[in-house]
Every structure is written in structure tokens, then in C-alpha cells.
Structure 1
Amino acid sequence: MDLDPDLTALRPLGGFFVLRTEGAAAGPLPTLAQAYADASPDVYGNPLIFRVHKVANALYAPESRVAASVAHQGLAARLWSVALGCAALHDTVPDLDARLMRWDADGSAPDDLWLTHVRPLPGDAPTVADVVLRGHLEPLSAALRAHYRLAPGLLRGNAASALAGAAREVDRWARRHGRTDTAARARDLAAELLAHPLLAGTGTLTGTAFRRRSCCLYYRVPGGGVCGDCCFTRPPRSSPRASSG
């Protein structure tokens, strides 16, 4: 199935899957490529630092690295949702080249991301991995590690958790609407992507349930607790560093 220029088929899945395509409306917003490359520590000059600061204030995060982890997983989930949703529904994905995507670091889904040109690519797992993992999550992780003390294993776990969460949402929507083919494709793509060298070993996928081998540090947020796929069954009481790998 061909992609329509407005990606309207993703709208029934919810706002987290929606990607705006009105390039002109994005105005002077920076591209994600610019955000990943920005080395400035200025909270109002660097969109990535601004986003982490915004998350920290919203969650009353006790450490900037906790907010950075949550911000990372949130953006990863947005990117996986768009790519996996398109691949499962259309068997094709839009080219999400970071130079084509504008980002409002102060916005929330679906107003945070704009794709300035819809260019279809094959919807197979290797292409989705190139689009999301290579095109976004590698440079995003590098940028966050340059500014915050985040372990590579934590970031890989975040990426895997976000992927599994996106697949689970597609599967639920597809089953509710009798789209068993779409549900099966979402599960198969998730399983293949989680076997990618950049994600292999991050956790265990059973059907649509995922258990990661690392922790995103959300338990350190006041009242946060542990996430449903966390390696911990209860918030640890030992050194906070023990959860970062």
C-alpha cells in the first residue's frame, strides 16, 4: 500500500503515532539533525538540553540524567511508533531522515514533530532499523551521553522498551479492529528489530510482553515506582548507579 502524503492512516492509532507533514508550518524550528549535533550546553539554545530541562521540571527529577533518560525514551517511542505503524499498516515507511524532520522541543505529540517531505521506503525490518536506529537513536544517544552520565546499556534498553511499547499498541489496535494481519506484522517486525545488533540482549520479548535487562531510572522520580517492563520488580534501595546499565 502506498503512503498518503499526510500519513492519515496513522491517526486512528492515537496522537503518539501521528507525524505532521505540513513542512511550512514547522517554520524556523530546528531539524533533529541539528539538535543531535548541537554541542552547546545552553538550555535555551540547545533544543535537546531544553527538552531534558522541561522533563526535569515536569517530573521534579532529582538528577538531570533521570530526566535525560525519560526524554530519550519519549523521543524514541515517537520515532518507533511512526515507523512501526507505517510498516505494519502499509508495508512501507516514510524516510525519517533527521535533516527532513523538524522538532519542537517544547511541544508534545503530535505537535512536536514535522516531516517536511514524505518519501516512501520499504517497510522491512532492515530499513526500519536504518531509519530509526542508525538515523536517530545512535546520534541521539551520543548527544545525550556527551551532556549527561547515561550508560550505553540504559539507552539501548530505552530504545528496546520504546520499540516493544509501540508494537504492543499497534497489536492492540489491530486486534480491536479485526486486523490480524497488521497485528502479526507488528509483532514480527518487533521481534526482528529486537534481534538487531544494536538491540540484541536488551531484554526478552514474549508475544507482545517485554522484560528489559536495564532500568530507565524512572523509579528515582518522586512517586515514580518501576515501569511494567523494568528489570526490577520493586524500586531498588541500593546505590542508584546499580540501575544505570
Structure 2
Amino acid sequence: MDLAPDLATLRPLGGFFVLRAVAEPLRPPATLAQAYARPAFPEDQDPLTFRVRKVGNALRAPEPRIAASAAQQGLAARLWSVTLGCAALYGAVPDLDPRLLRWDPDAGAPDDLWLTEVRPRPADAATVAGIVLHGHLEPLGAALRSRYRVADGLLWGNAGSALAGAARQLDQWARTHGRTDVAACSRALTAELLAHPLLAGTGTLTAAGFRRRSCCLYYRVPGGGVCGDCCFTRAPRSSPRAPSG
């Protein structure tokens, strides 16, 4: 199966689902494998450090771990959207090996990704978990924890929230376009993935939506509040470092 042409047709689903397949982009940025590794670059050239600083400046985040949380959730949303969209629409997913994915840390949101080789993989939950959870979110989380001391529970909560958000957007598109098959596949795959040991404790998925058990710290951004799936019903005020794990 040649999955490459189908990647372009994900664009109508929204920017988070877009994945460009380019053999080798001009002036190629770092691969995500390089971004997760340390030390791969001098600190002033490190793509992950650059991204966290960029997000922090855009949000006016009062501390780096808040920016690290937002940056991780944004990238998780991209990875989940691409795999979930391909699985539900085409019954196959691209191999998102971090060595094949190039990433521009200076881009806006959503994260700009290039896939340099399209290798179709099965669309079952185990394969998708291997690609996204083990291939990306585990090494990304390890890098962010070591650099910014972000709580492990917060990062996995972000991962669960990002998955639920991608599923919600895909479900809305499917219902609008009468693709009940796509909606059913997306819901089933999302439920299987949220039952994975790394995500099972991150929140509860119901017919009404997803409610996470941790906080991404967005409420601490100037002008920010609680997210729609936050464990808090209102922004905490009693402590500057509310529990996030």
C-alpha cells in the first residue's frame, strides 16, 4: 500500500493532521531523534531547548516547566492526530520513526513536521502505541524531565489529553461528512490506547468527553485559565505550585 498520497488528503481535517512527505527538505532541520537525545547539540543550538523557550516567550510563561508542558502537549497532539487520522481513514499508519521525522522548532503552532520516508504500518492499537508512546513520548518525556523537572504524571496526562483532543476533532469531522465508519474506528482505537498502561491512569473517557487527573499548568500563564478537560474546575489560587502529577 502506498500511503504517501493519502497523507496530503488529511489536510481538510485540520492543521494538526497535516504531515508532509518530503525525501529531504531544503536546509533540513533536526530529526526528532536528535531533539530527544542529549547532548546532541550545544545548548544554544539544541532544538528542544529552543522550542521550549519559544513557547515560553509566546505564552509569557512564568517558569520553564510550564513552557515545557505546553511544548510537549503540542507535539503529542500532532503525533496522535496523524496516526489516528490515517488509521481511521485508511486502515494504515505511517511509521513515524523519530529518525525519519524532521521538525522545525521555530515554526508556529501546530508543530511543523516532515516525514522523509513513508513506510506503512498496521493500524492496530499496539502498533500505534509503539510508534507514538514508545517511539516519541517516552524519550521526549525523559528529555523534558531531566531538563525542566516536569512531573511524569503531568506529561502523561498531557499525552492522554492530546489523544482525546485529536479523537474529538476527528469525530466532529466524521459526523459532519457522514463518515460513521471513521467515527467508530476513531472511538474504538482511542479507547484501546487510553487503556494502555502508560495512559490508563491519566483520565476518564466518557460519552461526555475526557476528564484528566492532572493539570498541564496552563492556568499559571498570564490570562490563562483551566482547560476543558482539567482536573480542576477553577484555577487554583492557594499555592503557586499546585499538584501536577
- 147 and 222 in structure 1: CA distance in 2 versus 1, 3 angstrom threshold: same
Q: Secondary structure at the match of 1:7?
A: helix
Q: Does 1:229 align with 2:229?
A: yes
> What displacement does 1:219 show?
0.2
Partner of 2:141: 141
Q: 1:153 is matched with which residue? A: 153
- Judged with a 3 Å threshold, the aligned counterparts in structure 2 of structure 1 residues 43 and 134 are, in CA distance, closer, same or farther, namely same
Q: Which residue of 2 aligns with 1:60?
A: 60
What is the CA–CA distance in structure 1 between the aligned matches of 2:64 and 2:206, rounded to whole Å?
A: 33
Q: Hey, what does 2:24 align to over in structure 1?
A: 24
- Which residue does 2:131 correspond to in 1? 131
TM-score norm. by structure 2 comes to 0.95
Q: In structure 2, do the counterparts of structure 1 residues 240 and 78 end up closer, same or farther at CA, with 3 Å as the change threshold?
A: same
Give the distance between the partners of 2:224 and 2:110, measured in 1 at CA. 25
Between the aligned partners of 1:43 and 1:226, the Cα distance in structure 2 is: 32
Give SS of 2:34's match.
helix
Q: Is the 8 A contact 2:8 2:19 kept in 1?
A: no
TM-score, normalising length from structure 1? 0.95
SS of residue paired to 1:23: coil
For structure 2, the residue ranges without an aligned partner over 5 or more in a row are none
Farther-moved stretch of structure 1 (80-89 vs 41-50): 41-50
Where does the alignment leave 5 or more consecutive residues of structure 1 unmatched?
none
Counterpart of 2:192 in structure 1 is 192
**Closer, same or farther: CA 130–138 of 1 in aligned 2, 3 Å:** same
Cα distance in 1 between the residues matched to 2:222 and 2:147? 23
SS at match of 1:87: helix
**In 2 relative to 1, CA 52–14 (structure 1 residues): closer, same or farther, beyond 3 Å?**
same
Structure 1 residue 69 displacement after superposition: 0.3
State the shift of 1:26 in Å. 5.0
Query: 1:44 is matched with which residue?
Result: 44
Measure the CA separation in 1 of the matches of 2:2 and 2:131.
18
- Give the distance between the partners of 2:41 and 2:112, measured in 1 at CA: 21
- Cα deviation digits, residues 10-53 of structure 1 (max 9, x gap): 11101110011113225331100000003379553110000000
Question: Does the 8 Å contact 1:18/1:109 carry over to 2?
Answer: no
Identical pairs, percent: 73
Helix, strand or coil at the partner of 1:243: coil
Query: Counterpart of 2:121 in 1: which secondary structure?
Result: strand
**Structure 2 letter corresponding to 1:219:** Y
Matches for 1:4-23 after TM superposition, within 5 Å:
4-5=4-5, 7-23=7-23
Q: Is the 8 A contact 2:36 2:140 kept in 1?
A: yes
Q: Which moved more, 1:101-110 or 1:119-128?
A: 101-110
SS at match of 2:97: coil
